[in-house]
Amino acid sequence: MDIHEYQAKEVLSNFGVATPSGALAYSPEQAAYRARELGGDKWIVKAQVHAGGRGKAGGVKLCNSENEIHEACDEMFGRKLVTHQTGPEGKGIYRVYVESAVPIDREIYLGFVLDRSSQRVMIVASSEGGMEIEEISAERPDSIVRSIVEPAVGLQEFQAREVAFNLGLEARLVQQMVRTLQGCYAAFSDLDATMVEINPLVITGDDRVLALDAKMSFDDNALFRHPQISELRDKSQEDPRESRAADRGLSYVGLDGNIGCIVNGAGLAMATMDTIKLAGGEPANFLDIGGGASPERVAKAFRLVLSDKNVQAVLVNIFAGINRCDWVAEGVVQALRELEIDIPVIVRLAGTNVEEGQKILAQSGLPIIRATTLMEAAERAVGAWQNDLSQNTKVRAV
């Protein structure tokens, strides 16, 4: 789960990370009022969307008066901000963050991520801030500083100082940098984050170390431990299909293909997507219905997959252990009888109660395409899709 910049700054400030003064606004009039409250003569107005590259897309404006703030917000509110991370559909702007401008002497990139190779939290920093980390890595790889944190002891002060010195910070700024690093790590570990990024972390003209921007992502599976973080979720910034799936306890990721997938188990779901690609097709989604796939849960999964108008065939691939194939078969039949479906449905069952499951499908009277292996199922799904929904593979259920 991602959160907005202003939310990330509030979270990090609670862990001792310094940020510029700012306030949230939901209208141009409120934004101008927020600027008066903050004081000063220069402000930054930032569109609050879950995407990077806002500045290049017109989502960040420097304003020198309340009138300029009003005009900038008037252009932002209600429109879609399109960046390299949002795709052509963009993300809607419904709130802005008004922040006091600060004199910047230097910009630094700072990130905390999970490093799979070391199975540790890694600090990634660069003396060349203000750019995307991909650009920094490609153009100035020598500027990148990496440091692995040992989870048994956490981020120690000597390690944070080492990072600060490797970034070329003057001695008078090192202690502020140490507090920033330790605050970010504490927020990361205490709140089950998967990413903390400050880009840029700036050194101001009056020798302050401030987080000028901030991003945080959290492990969805750990949100039950942090209701204060779960409450920060903004569904308007998410794929509506993924929001509906999360609300129904399903693991779903929307893709751009045409073959919908309903699978139990993340590993099997990935293998199913790969096999569809191998057979010449394109998966429309990742969907893991989990270990307790009741008929009702399978029916919910069908509704979710079919909410994607690009789906032209559905492949159900179940390897039953905790699950039971007869439950899944009942769910498939229930879904086809309740929903009006005019696309091919391919079902491959294996494991617990597979004979009973196959019997339910065969006796349903519905033209469900059955397969015994994953490769066969993928080939039949791709074949049905490529045959432009020929009459002998259509499924129509009322």
Question: Helix (H) and strand (E) counts for the chain?
Answer: 13, 18
Q: What is the pTM of this model?
A: 0.76
- Residue ranges of the annotated binding site for ATP are 46, 53-55, 99, 102, 107
109 is catalytic: yes
DSSP 103: -
User: What pLDDT score does 291 carry?
Assistant: 63
Q: At 1, is the secondary structure helix, strand, or coil?
A: coil
Distances 364 to 52, 343, 360, 396 between C-alpha atoms, Å: 50, 17, 6, 13
66 is catalytic: no
Q: What are the strands, taking DSSP E only, across the chain? A: 22-25, 43-47, 60-63, 80-81, 91-92, 96-100, 104-115, 120-126, 144-149, 193-204, 209-211, 215-218, 251-254, 259-263, 285-288, 313-320, 345-351, 369-371
Distance CA(52)–CA(338), nearest Å, equals 42
CATH architecture of 1-19+103-238: 2-Layer Sandwich (3.30)
Kindly name the residue from 97, 185, 197, 330 that is annotated as catalytic: 197
- Residue ranges of the annotated binding site for substrate are 264
pLDDT 10s per residue in the chain (398 long)?
A: 899 999 999 999 999 999 999 999 999 999 999 999 999 999 999 999 988 888 888 899 999 999 999 999 999 998 888 887 777 878 889 999 999 999 999 999 999 999 999 999 999 999 888 777 778 878 888 889 999 999 999 999 999 999 999 999 999 999 999 999 999 999 999 999 999 999 999 999 999 999 999 999 999 889 999 999 999 988 888 777 777 777 666 778 888 899 999 998 889 999 999 999 999 999 999 988 876 666 777 888 888 888 888 899 999 998 887 778 888 888 888 888 887 778 899 999 988 888 999 999 998 888 889 999 999 999 999 998 887 444 443 443 33
| Crossing angle (nearest 10°) for helices 266-278 and 374-386 | 50
Domain with CATH 3.30.470.20 in the chain: 1-19+103-238
Whether residue 289 contacts residue 393, with contact meaning beta carbons closer than 8 Å, is answered with no
Whether residue 331 contacts residue 320, with contact meaning beta carbons closer than 8 Å, is answered with no
Kindly name the residue from 5, 6, 97, 109 that is annotated as catalytic: 109
Distance CA(332)–CA(233), nearest Å, equals 32
Question: Which tokens belong to 133?
Answer: 């980390």
Domain with CATH 3.30.1490.20 in the chain: 21-101
Domain with CATH 3.40.50.261 in the chain: 239-393
Scanning the structure block, which residue is given the tokens 């690093």?
181
Residues sharing a CB contact under 8 Å with residue 208, sequence separation 6 or more, in sequence order:
18, 102, 176
User: What pLDDT score does 393 carry?
Assistant: 39
Scanning the structure block, which residue is given the tokens 């479906």?
341
Distance CA(185)–CA(191), nearest Å, equals 10
CATH class of 21-101: alpha beta
User: What pLDDT score does 201 carry?
Assistant: 95
Name the residue type at position 34: R
Distance CA(271)–CA(266), nearest Å, equals 9
User: What pLDDT score does 14 carry?
Assistant: 96
Distances 272 to 68, 179, 306 between C-alpha atoms, Å: 53, 46, 18
User: What pLDDT score does 103 carry?
Assistant: 93
- CATH topology (fold) of 239-393: Rossmann fold (3.40.50)
